[in-house]
Chain A
Amino acid sequence: MIELSVLDEIIYYILRPEFFVPVIFPGLITSMILLLITIWAERKIAAKVQLRFGPLLISPRIGGLLQLIADLLKFVFSEIIVPARAFKALYILGPALLLSTSLLPLVVIPISTSIHYSLYVIGNNGAYVPIYVNFSLIAALALSMLTPIMVIMTAWATNNRFAVVGALREGFLMITYDVLLIMSAFSMAIIYGGVDLFGFVNFQSSHYLGILMNPISAFVFLVAMLLGSSRYPFEIVEADTEIVIGPYTEYSGLLFILTMGGSYIKTFVYSILFSVIFLGGWLPFSGGIGALFTVFKAIIILLFSVFLRSVYGRYRIDQALRGAWKLMFLLAIISMVLSFIWRWFLVA
């Protein structure tokens, strides 16, 4: 039996994936910090394109990085106004539920390998994941579908006509991007021969990267990701000049920050999924550095999605739906056919 001192025991339990992933990395604390940095990056990138400086007043020497902390503090101390006719319980619970359900898929997505800290050993590697299921792809996608339901519930509890219009748009879009995500992920599952995300990365380590094998599927996944998390050019749910921020119209103060955070964290979680399925996850490293590398790839995808704000306007809801069902659905079917061909080629 190995004798550990008290400090080593504490470190061991902190680094166990059941605690580390949902709370510290890449869960609550990291995604909050990443949220602030992403919004700062979005504003700075857009400013560079648009001939201006972006945030610069608060901390000029590091390029205004602390601007978002100042904004956060301002909102935290603002008054939370609850409309008289709103359904108060759901009105106040809604944003919290939004945020927590958008973080849920992280409990089934493996972000690295590890021998010491993991209970699940597959082959000669341990999966660094809080709960290991051998259908983790399906579990992750299913868990990510809880958030739109919370959005619709929040909007209905608000009792405001603009919020209801926004919720209707979210309802239409939810069906669309869900289908595209599942089809694109399953076409990759056909190539990899299973629905276990850990097996995906193992397969990519011995063959090619997912994005090189089926780029059409990667494109469909990317567009579905943009559709689902309200990034330009599909910022339809929170269309500023049409429906005044959509489902979150009546929110102010701390609840407003929680709602805004929800959509960015959704993008982040989808980016981690993208990097595991298509970009090889933690390859070529493993262990602690592997986890950092997974999240690093996810951040690149996140910054790309956020950059599109400076190039595009926003689409109308019927144009987005028509494009998704006509063009993207067709591409998803083509990608499935492509994966069948690849699988046959690899197995034969």
Chain B
Amino acid sequence: MRGCLLTERNRVNEEELKEVEIIVEPGQGQAELNIGPQHPGSGHMRLVAKIRGDIVEELVLDPGYVHRSVEKLCENRHYMHLIPLVERPTIIDSIHMNMGYIMAVEKIMNLEVPERALYLRSFAAEVNRISSHLYGLGILGIFIGHSTMFMWGFADREPFVEILQNLTGARITNSYVVPGGVRRDLSQSVKEFAIKAVSYLRKKIKDYENIFLNNPNVRARLENVGVISREKAIELGLVGPNLRASGVPYDVRKIEPYAAYQKLDFEIPVYKEGDAFARTLVRMEEVQQSMNMIMQIIKEIPEGEILNQRILKQIPPQRIKKWYEEQKRIVFPGYFASMRPPKGDAISRVEASRGELVYYVVSDGSSIPYRVRMITPSYMLIKPFMEIAKGHRIADIPAIYGSLDYFPPEADR
């Protein structure tokens, strides 16, 4: 039969298909600790730790509990229908997931994006970065027992999620970026709301520093925990703030600028130590830089269209009159679903909140993609997580987990 069965030909060895195997020698004081999916400190995945006393000798990750087969589903839906699908693996960071996919499709279709739309994409991306970093820092807080950081992180995320709701119509999974531009425009009320939200968080950052970053308890839990040297980080393929905390000044917004990052003035924080505390500091400073970028965008955004002319012409005039001219909204007609890009392939990358997000789209000329490959930042963190935790204590596993900001649904897709 074509397409070999897993049971028949290509199963090389029965033993090899068991997912997780820990061998514990008797009488050595070793045990296997199953930090399974039903655990307050494990998220949607299973960690199996081989411990000797209090020291972790080996940590094996068992992802796949929230595997939704996004890559397989992408081969059965039209290009436009994939926009809500690809943004769901990381629902708290969905603007970036959306934008990466659309950038790859635009490369295949050779579409230019107007300048106002590029600024709007950056605006939404930076707001999303702030809310995703506050979420990550909150999870780190609760994993080391600091419930105040958790509550504050989630509470202060609210103004930024509200900005996105006013701008795009949804709090998360916004489906904001479409091929050729964006779906809605920035109005005066959204600008004022954004300015208020940014000034609120700027005042609150001092409280965060007092209770979390300068807290000797938190420092003792996070300093010198999970140290990754620069060479090891490059070799294992680490991404995002974790890479920058190990001394590599790499950020896709500077290396391969997309959206409006060419014109914005920002810095990327880089630390040398490579421990959990450095990763936390990198995230805190990125929040500050994002706030500066939001204020710059609000001041400098140029006037113009929000969608490419070629695509705008294909929307029927009644829709344009009703939706676009009065409310500045794009509503696509139904036949856009069978949009057909030319044959080819493209690889695109964006800097999502947790790291670098890579999309590889292969098109064969029909209205359904032939292959969509999605490399999310948490996917790249699976092997480094297993390597870093060796030699640490049981209590360090949640600290490393939270500081790496590993998000299981993003890794499983």
> Is any CB of A less than 8 Å from a CB of B in the complex?
yes
User: Once bound together, how far apart are the Cα atoms of A318 and B220, in whole Å?
Assistant: 11
Q: Which A residue sits closest to B155, measured CB to CB?
A: A51
Q: Do A311 and B211 touch across chains, with their CB atoms under 8 A apart?
A: yes
A-B contact pairs, 6 of them (CB 8 A): A50-B152, A235-B145, A311-B211, A316-B396, A317-B393, A319-B221
Q: Which B residue sits closest to A242, measured CB to CB?
A: B395
Interface residues of A in 295-333 (CB under 8 A from B): 309-319
Interface residue B22 (Cβ < 8 Å from any Cβ of A): no
Q: Do A317 and B54 touch across chains, with their CB atoms under 8 A apart?
A: yes
Also in contact, A313 and B145, with CB within 8 A (given A242-B395, A243-B394, A318-B54): yes
14 extra A-B contacts, CB within 8 A, seeds A161-B34, A311-B148, A312-B145:
A50-B152, A52-B155, A161-B33, A162-B33, A232-B145, A233-B217, A240-B145, A241-B143, A241-B398, A242-B394, A242-B395, A310-B148, A313-B144, A318-B54
Chain A residues in 8 Å Cβ range of B70: none
Interface residues of B in 136-162 (CB under 8 A from A): 141-148, 151-152, 155
CB distance from B140 to the nearest CB of A (A): 10
Q: Do B397 and A242 touch across chains, with their CB atoms under 8 A apart?
A: yes
Chain A residues in 8 Å Cβ range of B397: 242
Also in contact, A313 and B152, with CB within 8 A (given A235-B145, A240-B145, A241-B40): no
User: Once bound together, how far apart are the Cα atoms of A116 and B206, in whole Å?
Assistant: 59
Q: Which B residue sits closest to A50, measured CB to CB?
A: B151
Chain B residues in 8 Å Cβ range of A235: 145
Q: Do B39 and A50 touch across chains, with their CB atoms under 8 A apart?
A: no
Bitwise, A153-191 to B at CB < 8 A (1) or not (0) is 000000001100100000000000000000000000000
The count of residues in chain A whose C-beta lies closer than 8 Å to any C-beta of chain B is 28
Interface residue B218 (Cβ < 8 Å from any Cβ of A): yes
Chain B residues in 8 Å Cβ range of A46: 147-148
Interface residue B215 (Cβ < 8 Å from any Cβ of A): yes
Interface residue A239 (Cβ < 8 Å from any Cβ of B): yes
Chain B residues in 8 Å Cβ range of A104: none
Also in contact, A239 and B54, with CB within 8 A (given A316-B221, A316-B396): no
Partner of A161, one of B31, B220, B395: B31
CB distance from A55 to the nearest CB of B (A): 15
User: Once bound together, how far apart are the Cα atoms of A241 and B144, in whole Å?
Assistant: 8
Chain A residues in 8 Å Cβ range of B63: none
- Which B residues contact A (CB, under 8 angstroms)? 31, 33-34, 39-41, 54, 141-148, 151-152, 155, 211, 215, 217-218, 220-221, 393-398
CB distance from A175 to the nearest CB of B (A): 16
Also in contact, A240 and B41, with CB within 8 A (given A161-B31, A315-B220): yes
User: Once bound together, how far apart are the Cα atoms of A49 and B41, in whole Å?
Assistant: 24
Also in contact, A165 and B147, with CB within 8 A (given A241-B142, A313-B221, A315-B221): no
CB distance from B389 to the nearest CB of A (A): 13
Q: Do A309 and B398 touch across chains, with their CB atoms under 8 A apart?
A: no
User: Once bound together, how far apart are the Cα atoms of A242 and B221, in whole Å?
Assistant: 13
User: Once bound together, how far apart are the Cα atoms of A79 and B220, in whole Å?
Assistant: 40
Chain B residues in 8 Å Cβ range of A309: 147
B31, B34, B394: residue with the most chain A Cβ atoms closer than 10 Å: B394
Chain B residues in 8 Å Cβ range of A239: 145, 395
Chain A residues in 8 Å Cβ range of B218: 313
Q: Which B residue sits closest to A172, measured CB to CB?
A: B54
CB distance from A52 to the nearest CB of B (A): 6
Interface residue A96 (Cβ < 8 Å from any Cβ of B): no
Chain B residues in 8 Å Cβ range of A86: none
User: Once bound together, how far apart are the Cα atoms of A309 and B146, in whole Å?
Assistant: 8
CB distance from B44 to the nearest CB of A (A): 15
Q: Which A residue sits closest to B141, measured CB to CB?
A: A313
Q: With contacts defined as CB atoms under 8 Å apart, how many contacts are there between chain A and chain B in the complex?
A: 79
Also in contact, A312 and B395, with CB within 8 A (given A161-B33, A235-B145): no
Q: Do A50 and B395 touch across chains, with their CB atoms under 8 A apart?
A: no
User: Once bound together, how far apart are the Cα atoms of A4 and B48, in whole Å?
Assistant: 72
Chain B residues in 8 Å Cβ range of A50: 147-148, 151-152, 155
Bitwise, A229-269 to B at CB < 8 A (1) or not (0) is 00011010001111110000000000000000000000000
Partner of A165, one of B39, B146, B211, B394: B394
Q: Do A313 and B39 touch across chains, with their CB atoms under 8 A apart?
A: no
Q: Do A317 and B395 touch across chains, with their CB atoms under 8 A apart?
A: yes
Chain B residues in 8 Å Cβ range of A310: 147-148
Partner of A313, one of B31, B146, B393: B146
Q: Do A242 and B141 touch across chains, with their CB atoms under 8 A apart?
A: no
Chain A residues in 8 Å Cβ range of B217: 233, 312-315
User: Once bound together, how far apart are the Cα atoms of A162 and B393, in whole Å?
Assistant: 14
CB distance from A264 to the nearest CB of B (A): 18
Also in contact, A312 and B146, with CB within 8 A (given A52-B155, A165-B394): yes
Q: Do A314 and B148 touch across chains, with their CB atoms under 8 A apart?
A: no
Chain A residues in 8 Å Cβ range of B144: 241, 313-314
User: Once bound together, how far apart are the Cα atoms of A270 and B120, in whole Å?
Assistant: 60
Q: Do B211 and A316 touch across chains, with their CB atoms under 8 A apart?
A: no
Q: Which A residue sits closest to B149, measured CB to CB?
A: A313
CB distance from B12 to the nearest CB of A (A): 33
Partner of A51, one of B40, B152, B396: B152
CB distance from A187 to the nearest CB of B (A): 26
User: Once bound together, how far apart are the Cα atoms of A321 and B58, in whole Å?
Assistant: 25
User: Once bound together, how far apart are the Cα atoms of A309 and B147, in whole Å?
Assistant: 8
Chain B residues in 8 Å Cβ range of A242: 41, 394-395, 397-398
User: Once bound together, how far apart are the Cα atoms of A239 and B54, in whole Å?
Assistant: 14
CB distance from B30 to the nearest CB of A (A): 12
Q: Which A residue sits closest to B222, measured CB to CB?
A: A313
Q: Do A240 and B40 touch across chains, with their CB atoms under 8 A apart?
A: yes
Q: Which A residue sits closest to B212, measured CB to CB?
A: A313
User: Once bound together, how far apart are the Cα atoms of A300 and B16, in whole Å?
Assistant: 61
User: Once bound together, how far apart are the Cα atoms of A239 and B144, in whole Å?
Assistant: 9
Q: What are the nearest 6 A-B pairs in CB distance?
A: A241-B41, A314-B145, A313-B146, A50-B151, A313-B145, A316-B395
Q: Do A49 and B148 touch across chains, with their CB atoms under 8 A apart?
A: yes
Q: Which B residue sits closest to A243, measured CB to CB?
A: B394
Q: Do A241 and B152 touch across chains, with their CB atoms under 8 A apart?
A: no
Chain B residues in 8 Å Cβ range of A318: 54, 393
Q: Do B155 and A319 touch across chains, with their CB atoms under 8 A apart?
A: no
Interface residues of A in 273-307 (CB under 8 A from B): none
Chain A residues in 8 Å Cβ range of B146: 312-313
User: Once bound together, how far apart are the Cα atoms of A240 and B141, in whole Å?
Assistant: 13
